[in-house]
Amino acid sequence: MYLKELCKLPGVSGNEDAVRRFILSKLAGKCDSCHVDRMGNVIAFRRGNGQKKLLLAAHMDEVGLIVSSITEAGFLKFQTVGGIDPRVLVSKRVTVGPKAIPGVIGYKAVHLQDKAEREQSVRAKSLYIDIGASSKTEAERLVSPGDYCAFDSEFVLFGDDRIKAKALDDRAGCALLLDIVENGKCPYDLYCVFTVQEEVGLRGATVAAYDIRPDIAIVLEATTCSDVYGTEPKDYATVLGGGVAISLLDRSTYYDKDLVRFVRALAARHKLPVQYKQTAMGGNEGGAYQRACTGARTLALSLPARYIHSPASVISKKDYDHMHRLLYQLLQDIEQTERMG
């Protein structure tokens, strides 16, 4: 299980280098071929019977920040990369640039705010990163505009089999995919794709889709879990510990009905808990694979993640383990889907 190592690596969208190097080191000698395309996607191939192309995908990138300017006092102004609620940023630790300079996200103290400031939501443009510099000149010796900033958050096991970490979306999918390359068995030609820039518009997946042109594409993701205090059960997207979430549709994809039914039946047969994602908000790389070229039959399997797109997301290790078992069984039985419909 490479999840801990993967989550600790910085990999903000557009700057996935460290994650890519780690994945390439683990893939060496474990597939028939492996290459990095022009976008930076890692594509590992294992030869099957040649009858179909099956693509499994997980994205390497995470949400984060990018330095946009440096103030005269040495504070860093930034822009968000990917969908981040600015309210989760105040006082959080980050590492900045290739030297991993430590910093803290700051905000004007409440007793200095006027009434209007206190009543409005926190906005990213009002925040800054404090790296301990006393001037612009001092800060410029350490960082530059364009440097990426990743959350600095420990990987922690806690409570009832819970995992807390940054970047669980989607290093959890990457960890599962690495294990599939090493140990999974599939009759079809198998393409395991570790993509870039998912959080900023499915960019890596769009390129990979046109390159590979899969018959079937299965996206391994993390997704919103809102089963928390203050949320009515009717508004839950998924439930932590309730098993793998199967998507029916979202803003990017209408998932293959036969694949959805097949996975549901497969899970029941092997006594693996699954749930349907109850909302259609958001999207994932399925949209890129479904619509590329002549199209692909598409399925999304996701891990429920509380506090997603924050420095401290939470998943259930039980859900992770159940997804691992479901994937192995799905690959072995994938040919049965051709007899459905």
Q: Which is the catalytic residue, given 16, 62, 198, 199?
A: 198
Q: Is 29 left (phi over 0), alpha (psi -120 to 50) or beta?
A: left
Q: Measure the CA–CA gap between 317 and 306, rounded to whole angstroms.
A: 13
* CA 216, chain centre distance (Å): 20
Question: Active-site residue 198, yes or no?
Answer: yes
Whether cis (ω within 30° of 0) applies to the bond prior to 215 is no
Q: Which residue from 186, 190, 221, 184 is spatially nearest to 336, judged by alpha carbons?
A: 186
Q: For residues 276 and 248, is the Cβ–Cβ distance under 8 A?
A: yes
Active site residues: 198
